[in-house]
Structure 1
């Protein structure tokens, strides 16, 4: 049985809504992320906006409660919650893996304590993602820290959340997330090796995420998807061909999920602003935002994530 969707997703700049019913507002661009917001429910990504809506509002039809703490903001209705937290650059520079493990442990502590134990979706915007060499690269050390926290609660890799990790041009890291009272079903991509099974050449710890999650309210939460077939990056540095391959991966994932799906929301990330035309080659409909950010592998130029719903 498909349940009623527990949120409403809007991409208006300023929808007419009662603040008591805002689960989260994701604001791309704007002021420095270290400048505090008056609203605990707003998070800024600090990724340059290239095209499309700037804001992403996750709204509730019923009043929400503030269930977070001093470090982790978390607002929820009776079924689902959204939250966010930050990692300071000083902590990242001193011990990337340790700082990321601590952040995810704090996040997990809040959602489990509030009664929303299922972490469904994470978005991570990591400053200076390629800083460091070899296994010391910041992204690889982030993967180590995230896994140490998630493996303490995941019985199986398919219990991991759907996720996106993108590099941003400012210090520190921002994490925002979706958690629910009930679990979702992991759907992997037949064209791709599961990220949690990547070979050692991509780092000491494979990334801890699933390709997508199918929820009990009929949504498919698609992780950041790029031109990776098997475990290999295809068409290095060619944004146009990577866009074509990325679309093939998304189509394969939608087919694997069964039923017919339509895009409700997509975010496309480009390493280079001059590759904006490549985003159009994805051929997606719905509300689409294009941002500039660094993909997790240096040879990847484009990545796309989405929220799909049953057609």
Structure 2
């Protein structure tokens, strides 16, 4: 369905032979980058709808879009998201499963003095508000910085699979954050579990997770304690989905986002120990959605 290359290159989005080909600027010069592929059991239908590209199977749709650099992002982010939502609704993909957002200069101020991440969140939330079916069922998501320009995002949606969006009892739901975090709250759940067949164990998509308890950052400036708190938050989500049957070491894929380059070796070693050798691990040195967060980690179990 799709091949997403995280590397040191400008953002790009194209249709290749039978799939969507996307480049997200996430690696630094000289770093190897990372390639992520998404597959369907049958050859997908690919194409474009407005400014978005898609690859659709019988059950799952992959949609992606880019936004060139803007001095203010909210209006165009809203338009792109509304294009995606309209496409999904018209083709019967009624449940959002997982979303990834990659945002340039995420902690900088836009032309109106609003932080770019909060600018992005406003556009995304306005689009959700215009589509009640998706607004009532926000999915797992990541919103993270990039090493390039503009905004890129891609998502997965499903037709009939059972989807359960999960909140963390240790954290305030992001969509209920107080106004101090921006004009519109972030639009995502802490995790999403998908079950495709009755009696089958679900697949758990854990959102980008950080050292947040309630709605506040904890252990500012302490990479070790932020990593430990982040892992505890992920473990809580896994326990909600699987009980005691699974834990951190059952993760199949893990991505870690690290603000400072000198913390990358520690975070890599922490993830290797916490999640174990089974997990495929990618680590990126990029900015994070809050200036006091040093690390963010996501996973698929």
Q: Distance in 2 between matches of 1:34 and 1:81?
A: 19
Match of 2:209 in 1: 225
Q: Distance in 2 between matches of 1:112 and 1:35?
A: 22
Match of 2:23 in 1: 44
Pick from 278, 291, 294 the counterpart of residue 287 of structure 2: 294
Pick from 87, 107, 111 the counterpart of residue 84 of structure 2: 107
Structure 1 window deviating more from structure 2 (31-40 vs 144-153): it is 31-40
What is the TM-score when the length of structure 1 is the normalising length?
A: 0.84
Pick from 213, 221, 224 the counterpart of residue 192 of structure 2: 213
Structure 1 window deviating more from structure 2 (58-67 vs 291-300): it is 58-67
Q: CA deviation at 1:155?
A: 5.0
Contact 1:53-1:288 within 8 A present in 2 as well: no
Q: CA deviation at 1:257?
A: 1.8
Structure 1 window deviating more from structure 2 (218-227 vs 182-191): it is 182-191
* 5+ long unaligned stretches in structure 2: 197-201
Q: Distance in 2 between matches of 1:199 and 1:52?
A: 39
Q: Distance in 1 between matches of 2:132 and 2:191?
A: 16
Structure 1 window deviating more from structure 2 (260-269 vs 246-255): it is 260-269
Contact 1:188-1:253 within 8 A present in 2 as well: yes
Contact 1:52-1:289 within 8 A present in 2 as well: no
Contact 1:158-1:210 within 8 A present in 2 as well: no
TM alignment of 1:2-151, pairs within 5 A: 23-34=1-12, 41-48=20-27, 54-89=34-69, 92-93=70-71, 95-132=72-109, 136-151=114-129
Q: Distance in 2 between matches of 1:206 and 1:128?
A: 19
Q: CA deviation at 1:169?
A: 2.4
Instruction: Provide, for residues 117-143 of structure 1, a one-character-per-residue CA deviation record: whole Å limited to 9, x for no partner.
Output: 322111010111112179711111111
Instruction: Provide, for residues 207-229 of structure 1, a one-character-per-residue CA deviation record: whole Å limited to 9, x for no partner.
Output: 11000111123111111000001
SS of residue paired to 2:283: strand
Q: Distance in 1 between matches of 2:126 and 2:144?
A: 20
Instruction: Provide, for residues 51-75 of structure 1, a one-character-per-residue CA deviation record: whole Å limited to 9, x for no partner.
Output: 8971111112221111532521111
SS of residue paired to 2:49: coil
What is the TM-score when the length of structure 2 is the normalising length?
A: 0.87
Q: Distance in 2 between matches of 1:220 and 1:34?
A: 28
Structure 1 window deviating more from structure 2 (61-70 vs 267-276): it is 61-70
* CA 1:151–1:102: 2 relative to 1, 3 Å: same
TM-align CA RMSD: 2.3
Match of 2:199 in 1: none
Match of 1:284 in 2: 275
Contact 2:257-2:297 within 8 A present in 1 as well: yes
SS of residue paired to 1:215: strand
Instruction: Provide, for residues 220-266 of structure 1, a one-character-per-residue CA deviation record: whole Å limited to 9, x for no partner.
Output: 11110000011110111222211011001011111122343321111
Q: CA deviation at 1:158?
A: 5.3
Match of 1:265 in 2: 253
